[in-house]
């Protein structure tokens, strides 16, 4: 059980489903709950998926890990899985390229509605201030 009373489990059915998801890049390893699982197998599967750029590891610039998102920060991104860094040093006049892990941008800095939507799809949820699924609406 996690701290919210939810059941945390390893799902088995024609193999270990959780492990298959990690191997294909469809899930992150939640290290906190590996106590009764084959820790080595899960971590190796995640490293392999990352090296092959499968699933979540294929997203340019990475995506925010779910537990980091729930804590309200950009946190670690899948592409590099490193702690967040400060804002980008890209000039305000040019849209940022694939950002370093954890970089945050303002709508003004991004400069284009299309780029803002791309960054939102990559996990930059803070760009959607009203939660309607559209980033930087003022750039339209």
Confidence band (pLDDT; 50, 70, 90) for 77?
low
What is the distance between the alpha carbons of residues 22 and 48, in angstroms, rounded to a whole number? 9
> 95-123: buried (b, 16+ CB within 10 Å) or exposed (e) per residue?
bbeebbbbbbbebebbbebebbbbbbebb
- For the chain, report the end-to-end CA distance as a whole number of angstroms: 45
What DSSP string describes 41-64?
Answer: HHHHHHHHHHHTT-GGGGSTT--B
Residue 52 pLDDT exceeds 90: yes
100-109 tens-digit pLDDT: 345 678 888 8
Q: What is the pLDDT of residue 74?
A: 52
Rounded to 10 degrees, what is the CA torsion of 85, 89, 94, 98?
Answer: -30
Residue 48 pLDDT exceeds 90: yes
Confidence band (pLDDT; 50, 70, 90) for 24?
very high
Confidence band (pLDDT; 50, 70, 90) for 81?
very low
Domain ranges of the chain: 17-57, 59-140
Residue 97 pLDDT exceeds 90: no
Collapsed DSSP state (helix, strand, coil) of residue 16: strand
| Burial status of residue 2 (CB atoms within 10 A of its CB: 0-12, 13-18, 19 or more) | exposed
What is the distance between the alpha carbons of residues 11 and 113, in angstroms, rounded to a whole number? 41
Tell me the Cα Rg of the chain: 17
pTM exceeding 0.85:
no
């Amino acid at each position: 059980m996690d701290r919210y009373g939810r059941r945390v489990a390893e799902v088995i059915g024609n193999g270990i489903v959780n492990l298959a998801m990690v191997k294909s890049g469809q899930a992150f390893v939640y290290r906190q709950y590996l106590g009764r699982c084959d820790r080595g197998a899960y971590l190796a599967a995640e490293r392999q998926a990352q090296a092959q750029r499968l699933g979540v590891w294929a997203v340019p610039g990475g995506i925010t890990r779910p537990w980091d998102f729930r804590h309200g920060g950009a946190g670690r991104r899948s592409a590099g899985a490193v702690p967040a860094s400060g804002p980008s040093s890209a000039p305000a006049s040019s849209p940022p390229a694939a950002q370093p892990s954890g970089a945050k941008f303002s709508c003004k800095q991004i400069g284009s509605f299309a780029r803002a939507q791309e960054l939102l799809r990559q996990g930059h949820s803070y760009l959607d201030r009203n939660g309607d699924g559209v980033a930087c609406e003022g750039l339209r």
